[in-house]
Structure 1
Amino acid sequence: MAKLNPSFWVISITLLSIQFKGSLGSASTNEAYVTLLYGDEFLLGVRVLGKSIRDTGSHKDMVVLVSDGVSDYSKKLLMADGWKVEKISLLANPNQVHPKRFWGVYTKLKIFNMTAYKKVVYLDADTIVVKNIEDLFKCSKFCANLKHSERLNSGVMVVEPSAALFDDMVKQVKTLSSYTGGDQGFLNSYYPDFPNARVFDPSLSPEAVKARPVPKMERLSTLYNADVGLYMLANKWMVDDSKLHIIHYTLGPLKPWDWWTAWLVKPVEAWHSIRVGLEESLPGTGGGKTPNDEFIVKLLFLLPLCGFLFCLYRSIKGRDFLSSLCRNSVCNQIRHLYYKVRSNGTLGYSGVSTLSTMNSNYQLHTGAHSKVPQYLGAVSVVVCFAAVLTSIGVSFMIVPRQILPWTGLILIYEWTFTIFFLLYGGFLLLVYQYGKKVAVQTGSPSSQTESSLDDSGKGHQRVDASCDFTALYYGLGMVFLAFAAISLPYMLGVTALFLSRLGLMIAVAMVLVSFMTYASEHLAVRWFLKSLEDRDTTRTKSICFLC
Structure 2
Amino acid sequence: MTEEERAQHGIRRHDAAGEKRAYVTLVTNDDYGKGAVALIRSLRITKTTADIVVLHTPALGEASRETLAKLGARLIEADLLPLSDAFNARHARRTLHEVAPFTKGGKPAFHTPLDNFVKLRLWQLIEYESCIFIDADAVVLRNIGRLFAYPEFSAAPNVYESLRDFHRLNSGVFVARPSAATFAAMLQRLDCPDAFWPRTDQTFLQAFFPEWHGLPVFMNMLQYVWFTMPELWNWKSIHVLHYQYEKPWEANHPKTEALMPLIELWHAFHEGDPLPDIDSLPDPASPLHPQQPAGQVGG
TM-score using structure 1 length: 0.43
List gaps (5 residues or longer) in structure 1. Answer: 1-10, 195-217, 280-493, 504-547
Corresponding residue of 2:46? 56
Instruction: Give the paired residue count.
Output: 252
Corresponding residue of 1:255? 247
Q: Secondary structure at the match of 1:105?
A: helix
One-letter amino acid of the structure 1 residue matched with residue 190 of structure 2: V
Change (3 A) 1:137 1:171: same
**Are 2:167 and 1:150 equivalent residues in the alignment?**
yes
Corresponding residue of 1:267? 262
Corresponding residue of 2:271? 276
Encode CA deviations 1:394-416: one digit per residue, 9 max, x unaligned.
xxxxxxxxxxxxxxxxxxxxxxx
Corresponding residue of 2:90? 97
Correspondence 1:518-537 to 2 at 5 A:
none
State, as a whole percentage, how many aligned pairs show the same letter.
26
Corresponding residue of 2:121? 110
Corresponding residue of 2:73? 83
Contact 1:264 1:497 in 2 (8 A): no
One-letter amino acid of the structure 1 residue matched with residue 224 of structure 2: G
Contact 1:91 1:105 in 2 (8 A): no
One-letter amino acid of the structure 2 residue matched with residue 119 of structure 1: S
Change (3 A) 1:243 1:142: same
Change (3 A) 1:42 1:152: same
Corresponding residue of 2:97? none
**Are 2:182 and 1:165 equivalent residues in the alignment?**
yes
One-letter amino acid of the structure 2 residue matched with residue 255 of structure 1: K
Correspondence 1:364-379 to 2 at 5 A:
none
Distance 1:143 1:256 in 2: 26
User: Which protein has the bigger helix share?
Assistant: 1
Q: Secondary structure at the match of 2:224?
A: helix
Shift of residue 278 of structure 1?
A: 6.2
Distance 1:56 1:103 in 2: 32
Correspondence 1:249-328 to 2 at 5 A:
249-250=243-244, 252=245, 254-260=246-252, 262-265=256-259, 266-277=261-272
Distance 2:152 2:15 in 1: 21
Shift of residue 268 of structure 1?
A: 2.2
Change (3 A) 1:60 1:499: closer
Corresponding residue of 1:41? 31
Corresponding residue of 1:174? 191
Corresponding residue of 2:223? 228
Larger Rg: 1
Encode CA deviations 1:204-230: one digit per residue, 9 max, x unaligned.
xxxxxxxxxxxxxx2111110011122
Distance 1:228 1:272 in 2: 15
Change (3 A) 1:92 1:28: same
Shift of residue 262 of structure 1?
A: 4.7
Corresponding residue of 1:501? 291
TM-score using structure 2 length: 0.75
List gaps (5 residues or longer) in structure 2. Answer: 94-111, 159-164, 275-283, 294-299
Shift of residue 24 of structure 1?
A: 6.9
Change (3 A) 1:31 1:71: same
The correspondence for 1:137, drawn from 136, 148, 162, is: 148
Contact 2:138 2:243 in 1 (8 A): yes
Corresponding residue of 2:202? 184
**Are 2:234 and 1:240 equivalent residues in the alignment?**
yes
Distance 1:60 1:98 in 2: 34
